[in-house]
Amino acid sequence: MRADPSRLSPIGLATKTIQGAGRRGQWREAVTTYHGLQASRLEADAVSCGAVLQACQASAWKLACSFLWQIQEASVELSLVCCNIAMSLSGQRESWYRTISMLIWMCSIAMRPDAQSYTPALGSSRTWGLSLWLLRQTRPNRILSNVAVASMARAWQWSFDLFYDLQAARPLPDTIFLNTFLSSLERSEQWQLAVSVLQASLKGSPVTPNLVSFNACLHACGEAAQLDQALQLVRCMEASRGPSPDVISYSAVLNACAKLVQWTLALDELGRMQRRSVLPDVVALNAAMSACAEAVQWEMCLHMLTTSSGVDPDSVSYNAVLKACEKSAQWALAMSMYWQMARSRVGCTTATYNTLLSCCQRSTKWEHATLLLSTMLSQHVLPDIISFNACLGALRRGSQWQQAISVFHWMPHVDVRSDTVTVVELFGALAAAARAPQARRVAASLVACAPLVRDCMQPALELEARRPTGLAVTACDCLVSHQLREPFECQQLLRRHGLRPVLRTLRRARWSEPSGRALQLRDPVLERQHSLGASLTKDALLDLEGREPELMPPPWMLRASQADASPLLLWLHEDPPKVGAYLRPVQVEHDRSSHAERQALLSLLAREAEATFRDGSQDFGDFRGAVRLYVTHTLCISCLAACYQYKALHPHLRLSVGFRVL
């Protein structure tokens, strides 16, 4: 029933006009009408004030505030409704300090804010501390609790407390609260807690979990690669002990499959969801494809891409095929996929280019690598550190040192900071070229980029000391051979990260007791680099025998070099019986057991064994005198280990090892 305007009081009429203006969004008209009331000395009441505030809306929040002041000045009794309207207006503006100041102001004029006043304040709160404080100021109702738990999403511990506090209190939390809480656990990677809260809710809790609750838990399990738990939850849903699983539920399981490279299981799940008439979407398809890609099943990946009916593959789907191509070194197929992507409307992302670039690196297609890197920029796809490292890797393999330097100089222009891999790849390219005739020009380039290399090498090596330093060692050898030691601090860095750990390992092991039947010396520190390089090997030999190794060939070596090598080759053929396990080789890239240094020491050991085993002992410790070994190149890590093992067996013997730097 509508009120007859003629029967309304002047205040009532004005209020009606203000409300009408508010509905039409004409806040200026509403304000003018209100001022008209004051001019005709009519006293505005709380209803008309509320109508003006409502008309101001979010666009004139400041005006609404000034109105509140005016109302207070005019001694109109401020209603809680007016204040709550103003609060909700400021809440819409998402300005927490405004809403909080408003709350404090309300308290200062002896007004008790109610649950409706706290809702916008909690909604705009960005910190859990503030939310908790606000919640404790009032008696929480259901909406208020839901808003609070949402604002505490980043501090799951607090929302956890809140959840259990509310279970004991009235009103009880509802499904919205449960879901908000579960998604806060999901975001905080607390999958165990999410699952246990869900299971507790299933066992007779007044809060009934729905599909959103299950999917939040499943997503948390999928991201944490908890495949068994995810499967258990989906099977529970399938057995009608919960809501029926949808495509999001299965996608979470497929995501866990991809993370654990369970590609056959992923295909089973894909078939299972189709049998249950749940059609896979692009997310589910991508997760299954990614499981196949990680397992290098490129044919399966390609099959899924081409036969995906009803699903439009996106860049992630293509990237999965590219990943499989990269892992199986299918360079041509990867490039054809790239052209297919360019033809279709699927955009290439940084991940696409990075996979293609590492494919080029594996196949030594450096021309394509540099072309892809420049295409990225022309297509406005920003390259990252992976893009540059892959390109440098391809250039290293192709010994393209000039291109490598220009790519390296390009990095700061696109705000990409180099890391250890960058330096190692760059050094590798330079070291490979240094063996070529243009070595002099390489040396000049090394000097030019010395400060850059030095700046990025130190923090990178310290952070990632576990990365292989083999290439950096080779590069440093190259620098030393060009008398470029001075501009670099790389030597010191390599001493710290390459030499020290190796020496610790070599000194620590109890060589004299070969354990079991192990024919190789297994050690991660030794296995990560093929050699210590010329200058570090010198340091290692100094550590072994307490004096500088000989670098010039001794006279007996010169005589030996003129002899016929065939008996030597025959001699290298096999380990002498019984003593092979005393000097175990280190496998780096290939078997190093037949290296001449080890074989020479083994042959000595075999002769010693004949003498010692005959008298019943197996102790080589009594041998005295001197053994001199000269090597025509820098010793590899395996042969260095053989020297250390030989010395450990003979504490009273002087072992001098010399080598020639090529």
| Residue window 544-583: x/- pattern of binding to Zn ion, with contact defined by CB under 5 A | ----------------------------------------
Unique residue bearing structure tokens 């509905």? 23
Cβ nearer to Zn ion, comparing 98 with 530:
530
Bridge-based pairing of strands 625-631 and 653-659 is parallel
Q: Would you report the helix, strand and coil content of the chain in percent, each value rounded to 5? A: 65, 5, 30
Task: Judge residue 315's burial from the number of C-beta atoms within 10 Å of its C-beta, 0-12 exposed, 13-18 middle, 19 or more buried.
Answer: middle
Piece in contact with Zn ion (CB under 5 A), picked from 1-9, 62-70, 217-225, 629-637: 629-637
Closer residue to Zn ion in complex, CB, 201/531: 531
In whole angstroms, how far apart are CA 20 and each of 10, 26, 27, 150?
Answer: 15, 9, 10, 35
For residues 254 and 639, which CB has a smaller minimum distance to Zn ion in the complex? Answer: 639
Among the residue ranges 180-188, 431-439, 519-527, 631-639, the one whose residues contact Zn ion (CB under 5 A): 631-639
**Minimum Å distance from CB 435 to Zn ion?**
19
Between 376 and 631, whose beta carbon lies closer to Zn ion? 631
Closer residue to Zn ion (CB): 559 or 633: 633
**Residue 26 per-residue DSSP state:** -
CA nearest neighbour of 482 among 439, 436, 448: 439
Q: How far is the CB of 521 from Zn ion (least distance, A)?
A: 13
Nearer CB in complex with Zn ion: 178/636? 636
* Contact window for Zn ion (CB under 5 A) among 122-130, 255-263, 552-560, 592-600: 592-600
- Dihedral angle over CA of 404, 409, 410, 416, nearest 10: 100
CA-nearest of 38, 2, 7 to 20 is 2
Long-range contacts of 168-173 (CB under 8 A, 24+ apart): 169/140, 171/141, 171/142, 172/206, 172/207, 173/142, 173/145, 173/207
DSSP structural state of residue 497: I
Q: Using the rule CB under 5 A, give the single segment among 270-278, 513-521, 601-609, 632-640 that binds Zn ion.
A: 632-640
Beta carbon nearer to Zn ion, 595 or 660: 595
Least separation in angstroms between residue 597's CB and Zn ion is 6
What is the total count of residues that contact Zn ion (CB under 5 A)? Answer: 4
- If the CB atoms of residues 321 and 643 are measured against Zn ion, the closer one turns out to be 643
Kindly tell me which of 495 and 595 has the beta carbon lying closer to Zn ion: 595
Report the residue from 60, 132, 348, 639 that binds Zn ion according to the rule CB under 5 A: 639
Does position 588 interact with Zn ion (CB under 5 A)? The reply is no
Binding flag, residue 602, Zn ion (CB under 5 A): no
Quote the least distance from Cβ 620 to Zn ion, whole Å. Answer: 22
C-beta separation of 150 from 178 below 8 A? no
Answer yes or no whether residue 595 interacts with Zn ion by CB under 5 A. Answer: yes
Task: Enter the tokens of residue 375.
Answer: 């295409």
Nearest approach, Cβ of 559 to Zn ion (angstroms)?
23
Within 8 A by CB and 6+ apart from 40, the residues are 10
In the bound state with Zn ion, the residue whose beta carbon lies nearer, of 52 and 629, is 629
Alpha helix locations (H) across 307-365? 315-327, 331-343, 350-362
Q: Assess 636 for contact with Zn ion (CB under 5 A).
A: yes
Measured CA distances, 501 to 165, 498, 520 (Å): 54, 6, 19
Closest distance to Zn ion from the beta carbon of 595 (Å): 3
Least distance in angstroms from the C-beta of 330 to Zn ion = 35
Does residue 637 touch Zn ion according to CB under 5 A? no
For the CB of residue 531, give the shortest distance to Zn ion in the complex, in Å: 8
Contact residues toward Zn ion (CB under 5 A) are 595, 636, 638-639
